Amino acid sequence: MKIERLSLQHLRMPLVSPFETSFGREIDRDCILVSVHAGGLTGYGECVASHAPGYNYETVGTAWHILTEFIAPAILGHDIVSAAAFQEAVAPIRGHHLAKAAVEMALWDLFGKISGKSLGELLGGQRSRVEVGVSVGIQASPEVLVDVVRGYVDRGYARVKIKIKPGRDVGDASAVRSAFPGLRLQVDANSSFTLESAQSLMPLDDLNLLLIEQPLFEDDIWDHRRLQEELRTPICLDESILSARHARYALEMKACRIINIKAARVGGLSEAVKVHDLCRGQSIPVWCGGMLETGVGRASNLALAALPGFSLPGDISASDRYFARDITRERFVLNENSTIDVPTGPGLGVTLDETALKDFTLAQADLVVGK
Ligand code: OSB
Ligand code: MG
């Protein structure tokens, strides 16, 4: 299947409410929609790099650069028959996982459309619906946080993650725990503590949390090992795990007991499946992380989370938790048991709302062979 054309659209979509983490506050969600054209079919992929390099070093700008200057030339006019073939073609490009993963997603969508199979089926998914939770940003005060969490619990979310940062940590988590003694609760620090400042997190051990996500530096697996020795609550790594190799290092070092899998962060769905398989072989629970995706990336996350090793609820909320208007015609809704259905149509199983797409597009590029 010869890749004939790659198109990029930089989108900016208003979030229903601002999302604040230890690295900043997002009011709009920026992303790049990647369309891969081959044989009269189009596959879609979402690049989840944000406007700013807060979560990791990639941005919409760096991804645009890598996609146009390096990834497109590596695949345009080439026969890319599998995710492995794609990864081989882009192997000389170091890093830039979010950019690579977007194209791999689009290729999977294309492979699914060609074969008539859903992404869930192609990846080896075994569930028709997956358990989900909601990720709640830092709020004005612990009182406001409890109110916001109550809103989600009332809507049916059975697992809640709250964002923490130094100074807004144990107090916030205790307030939510007191208000909801039976709630499945976890916290995410997004790399905002050091081994020293993380000493203040020790009281979290008394709050019956599912896990503490990425307390320390993104490039630091070793200090997580030292912190995990001191904490009874499982540490879960997000930012630190950029490949199945990193996952192996972390598990060998006992730096964490749970891994958050984001296909984008590890460079694509195929590598995400490798992380899943490694963890499953060692009975290490994994769950599907989120990056405030549009319906396109959400469909991909749901398909991935259908794999059997995803034993904890994912950060995959209903469409209305993020956007009043999305770019897919399909909107994802929360079932009564805090699950969301895995799409069943070919590929990602979503169709695009062209009008919404046009309204959200800030910039566009069409890349063809030899141009
Ligand atoms: O660390 O998991 C994270 C959003 C953007 C960047 C990083 C993270 C997140 C989330 C949101 O927690 C999860 C979601 O998509 O609902
Ligand atoms: Mg995280």
Query: Which pLDDT tens digit goes with each residue over 171-226?
Result: 999 999 999 999 999 999 999 999 999 999 999 999 999 999 999 999 999 999 99
**Pocket test residue of 135, 298, 301 for ligand 1, highest count of atoms within 8 A of CB:** 135
165 given a catalytic annotation:
no
314-315-320 Cα angle (round to 5): 125
CA-only gyration radius of the chain, Å: 20
20 lines ligand 1 (CB under 6 A): no
Note the pLDDT of residue 352.
Answer: 98
30 lines ligand 1 (CB under 6 A): no
pLDDT class for 1, splitting at 50, 70, 90?
Answer: confident
Residue among 149, 148, 211 at smallest CA distance from 180 = 149
46 lines ligand 1 (CB under 6 A): no
262 given a catalytic annotation:
yes
The total of other beta-carbon atoms located within 10 Å of residue 171's CB is: 14
**Residue 95 Ramachandran class (φ > 0 left, ψ -120 to 50 alpha, else beta):** left
Residue among 312, 302, 371, 292 at smallest CA distance from 341 = 302
Block residue for tokens 């709630």: 183
241 lines ligand 1 (CB under 6 A): no
Residue among 67, 8, 60, 59 at smallest CA distance from 33 = 8
Q: What is the mean pLDDT of residues 306-317?
A: 98
φ/ψ of 362, rounded to 5, equals -100, -30
Over 80: is that where the pLDDT of 244 sits? yes
Identify the active-site residue in 113, 163, 165, 274: 163
- Ion ligand 2: residue ranges with CB closer than 5 A: 188, 213, 238
Q: What is the mean pLDDT of residues 78-88?
A: 97
218 lines ligand 1 (CB under 6 A): no
Identify the active-site residue in 262, 274, 358, 371: 262
The ligand with the least distance to the CA atom of 236 is 2
The ligand with the least distance to the CA atom of 31 is 1
Tokens of 317: 């909320």
Tell me the CA–centroid distance for residue 319 and ligand 2, in Å: 19
Block residue for tokens 């590029």: 365
The atom of ligand 1 lying closest to the CA of 260 is 2
289 lines ligand 1 (CB under 6 A): yes
Q: Look at ligand 1, atom 14, and give the residue with the nearest C-alpha.
A: 290
**Pocket test residue of 296, 315, 316, 340 for ligand 1, highest count of atoms within 8 A of CB:** 315
Over 80: is that where the pLDDT of 344 sits? yes
Q: Which residues does 371 contact at the CB level (< 8 Å), separation at least 6?
A: none
Tell me the CA–centroid distance for residue 73 and ligand 1, in Å: 31
pLDDT class for 329, splitting at 50, 70, 90?
Answer: very high
317 lines ligand 1 (CB under 6 A): yes
26 lines ligand 1 (CB under 6 A): no
Q: What is the mean pLDDT of residues 341-367?
A: 98
Tell me the CA–centroid distance for residue 55 and ligand 2, in Å: 8
Question: How far is 38 from 45, CA to CA, in rounded Å?
Answer: 14
319 lines ligand 1 (CB under 6 A): no
Percent of the chain with pLDDT over 90: 99
Q: What is the mean pLDDT of the chain?
A: 98
Question: How far is 274 from 279, CA to CA, in rounded Å?
Answer: 9
The atom of ligand 1 lying closest to the CA of 214 is 1
Over 70: is that where the pLDDT of 371 sits? no
pLDDT class for 347, splitting at 50, 70, 90?
Answer: very high
